[in-house]
Amino acid sequence: MRHIVIEPKTCTIRVLNVAAFDHAVKAAGLVPGRVDHGMAAPGIGIVVFEYSMFEPADGRHWFAIGSKLYGGNALLYGVGDGGETIDLFKPPPVIFFPNAQAVEKAITAGTIERPTIRINGVPYWTWPGKRR
């Protein structure tokens, strides 16, 4: 299966061909069972470290896909019409941020959204705050 790995520390995007999805997760520098899955763009799934947004912002490496911010390495994979994992041949556009200050500038400029968790419409957590 063809996947894409995003490594913000080195500002690189690389292709990965592996047979098993868990092997792809490990090859991306992630730990199976300690990840979150989401949709990065239509037809593109993303796997990231489950607590990457809650770690201290300084010293971390960041990237954005569309208006969404992500921390640390990520694995991208294709998602078929039926929800099945398929080969991914082209990554979406990625913006790399060297530090939290660059992320704040992008949020202020409206380039990306400030990550926020809301419960019943009430903000519960906002980046770069500590996890409750």
Domain count, the chain: 1
Question: Is 132 within a domain?
Answer: no
pLDDT of residue 58: 86
Q: What is d(CA 123, CA 75) in angstroms, rounded to the nearest whole number? A: 28
Range of the domain at 114: 2-126
Banded pLDDT at 130 (limits 50, 70, 90): confident
pLDDT tens for residues 11-24?
A: 999 999 999 999 99
What is the mean pLDDT of the segment spanning 28-34? Answer: 95
Question: Is 89 within a domain?
Answer: yes
Q: Are 97 and 8 in contact (CB under 8 A)?
A: yes
pLDDT of residue 87: 96
pLDDT of residue 15: 97
DSSP secondary structure, 5-42, as one string: EEETTTTEEEEEE-SSHHHHHHHTT--TTSEEEEEEET
What is the mean pLDDT of the segment spanning 33-41? Answer: 96
pLDDT of residue 125: 93
Length of the chain: 132
- 10 residue type, one letter: T
What is the mean pLDDT of the segment spanning 77-95? Answer: 96
Backbone angles phi, psi at 103, to 5 degrees: -65, -45
Question: Is 72 within a domain?
Answer: yes
pLDDT of residue 80: 96
pLDDT of residue 3: 97
Question: Is 131 within a domain?
Answer: no
Instruction: List C-alpha distances in Å: 62 to 95, 117, 119, 125.
Output: 9, 18, 25, 18
Give pTM, 2 decimals. 0.93
Residue 131 above 80 pLDDT? no
What is the mean pLDDT of the segment spanning 119-124? Answer: 92
Token output for 110: 């409206």
Token output for 39: 């949709």
Q: What is d(CA 8, CA 97) in angstroms, rounded to the nearest whole number? A: 8
pLDDT of residue 77: 97
Q: Are 23 and 31 in contact (CB under 8 A)?
A: no
pLDDT, mean over the chain: 94
